[in-house]
Amino acid sequence: MKAAAGAPREAQVLSRTDETADMFTLHLRLTDARARAAYRFTPGQFNMLYLPGIGGVPISIASDPDRRETLDHTIRAVGRVTRVLAQLRAGDSVGLRGPYGRGWPMHDAEGQDLVVVTGGLGCAPVVAAIGYVVARRERFGRLAILQGVKHSADLIWRERYDAWARLPDTRVRLAADKPDHHWGDHIGLVTDLLDEVQLRPDRTVALVCGPEPMMLAAAGRLARLNVPETRIWVSLERGFQCGVGHCGHCQLGPYFVCRDGPVFRWADVGWLLGTRGF
């Protein structure tokens, strides 16, 4: 679905989930029934959430694309807009534009092994893709889900990881750089875990999302494991404002990240991401 540039539509907060001290999920519902019926998205796309008088912010859609009634957005309250979004309660309204961008290559990935490597809140842009795979488990090969956090207290969705770990042919590993004493999983970087899952490089598709240094490290590790750069996909962020490649804030070399991405093949963007100024 290609969203037009234009005014936002009203969405109501049906409910919210507090994930951690500063992370929360808004479960939104477009108020207009027709808009709701017409709304389609693919995993990895994002919406612009907008508060009148304050501004807008791009947030990836974390819910299942098949669940049509609500759109989930998991947000960390760190900026001036997200801090106000964090004050929203059930019944409040926001403006919503989207969906925007090009999502994960779900069709290309069918029949392939999948390794999902995420860091911090990088799990949010990928969770819809995991949900998509889990709902169609038989269409995909091995599934490995690797999530890393800095502090163990930052880990969200523990119960989902536990549930995914019980699926057939599915491995889930979690890593914390600074764990508390209850932490029972890997201590260190999430990229370390790539050596532990038995990748079949020629039939693996990697979905990577997190801070850019983490994605650089993950892509480097995957390349050393002989996964071709065309099979490594990353989701990027830039200062999206319009969402349709008009405002130019998201330029990355030859790309508009909001329109040509946010999901890219590493082969296309890896050469720019290590370069200061891009």
Partner 1 sequence: MTSASFLPRDRLQALFDRLREQGYRCVGPRVRDGTVIYDDLTDAANLPVGIGARQAPGSYRLTHEGHSRCFAWANGPQALKPLLFAPRESLWRAVRHDDGRMRFEPTAQQSRQLAVVGVRACDLAALTLQDAHFAADIADAGYASRRGGLLLIGVDCTHPADTCFCASTGDGPGIGSGADIALSELESGFLVRPNSAAGALLCDALPLRDASDDELYTAAAELESARSKQHRRLPGRNLRDALFANLDHPRWNDVAGRCLSCGNCVAVCPTCFCSTEREEAAFDGSESTRVRLWDSCFSAEHSYLHGRLLRPDTRTRYRQWLTHKLGGWHDQYGRSGCVGCGRCITWCPVGIDISAEAAAICGETVEPGEARGTREGS
Partner 2 sequence: MTMPPKPPAIGARRPRLAVHKFSSCDGCQLSLLNAGESLLALAERVDIVHFAEAGIVDEHAEADIALVEGSISTPEEQTRIQAVRSRSRWILSIGACATAGGPQALRNLGDSADWIASVYRRPDWISALPASSAIGAHVPVELELPGCPVSTEQVLAALTSLLAGAAPLTEQDKVCLECKRRGQVCVLVTKGEPCLGPVTVTGCGALCPGLGRDCYGCYGPAENPEVATLAERFGDLGLDAHAVARRFMYQQSGAQPFHRAARDWRQRARPAAPPAPGAESGAAPGPQPDGSTDSHD
Binding footprint of partner 2 on the chain (CB under 8 A): 51, 53-55, 79-81, 83-84, 87
> Which one of partner 2, partner 1, none interacts with residue 2, CB within 5 to 8 A by kind?
partner 1
Going across the sheet that includes 9-18, the strands are: 55-60, 46-51, 93-100, 9-18, 23-30, 71-76
> Which one of partner 1, partner 2, none interacts with residue 184, CB within 5 to 8 A by kind?
none
Rounded to an integer, what distance in angstroms lies between the CA atom of residue 50 and that of residue 47? 9
On the 0-12 / 13-18 / 19+ scale of CB atoms within 10 A, 8 is middle
Tell which residue, 270, 259, 139, has the closest CA to residue 217. Answer: 270
Token pair 């405002």 in the structure block, residue: 247
- Which residues 6+ apart lie within 8 Å of 115 measured at CB? 143, 144, 146, 194, 197, 199, 204, 205, 206, 207, 222
Binding of partner 1 at residue 79 (CB under 8 A)? yes
The least CB distance from residue 94 to partner 1, in Å, is 8
Give whichever of 18 and 32 is closer to partner 2, judged by the CB atom. Answer: 18
The least CB distance from residue 77 to partner 2, in Å, is 10
Q: Which amino acid is at 204?
A: T
Binding of partner 1 at residue 49 (CB under 8 A)? no
Binding of partner 1 at residue 168 (CB under 8 A)? no
At 232 the three-state DSSP class reads strand
The least CB distance from residue 2 to partner 1, in Å, is 7
Binding of partner 1 at residue 244 (CB under 8 A)? yes
Rounded to an integer, what distance in angstroms lies between the CA atom of residue 104 and that of residue 142? 17
The least CB distance from residue 40 to partner 1, in Å, is 17
Binding of partner 1 at residue 87 (CB under 8 A)? no
Binding of partner 1 at residue 55 (CB under 8 A)? yes
Give whichever of 188 and 274 is closer to partner 1, judged by the CB atom. Answer: 274
Q: Which two tokens stand for residue 97?
A: 């534009």
Here's the x/- map for partner 1, 4-23, by CB under 8 A: it reads as xxxxxxx-------------
Question: For the chain, what is the radius of gyration of the CA atoms?
Answer: 18
Give whichever of 55 and 228 is closer to partner 2, judged by the CB atom. Answer: 55
Residues that bind partner 1 (CB under 8 A): 2, 4-10, 31, 50, 52-56, 78-79, 91-95, 237-239, 241-242, 244-249, 251, 253-256, 259, 275-278
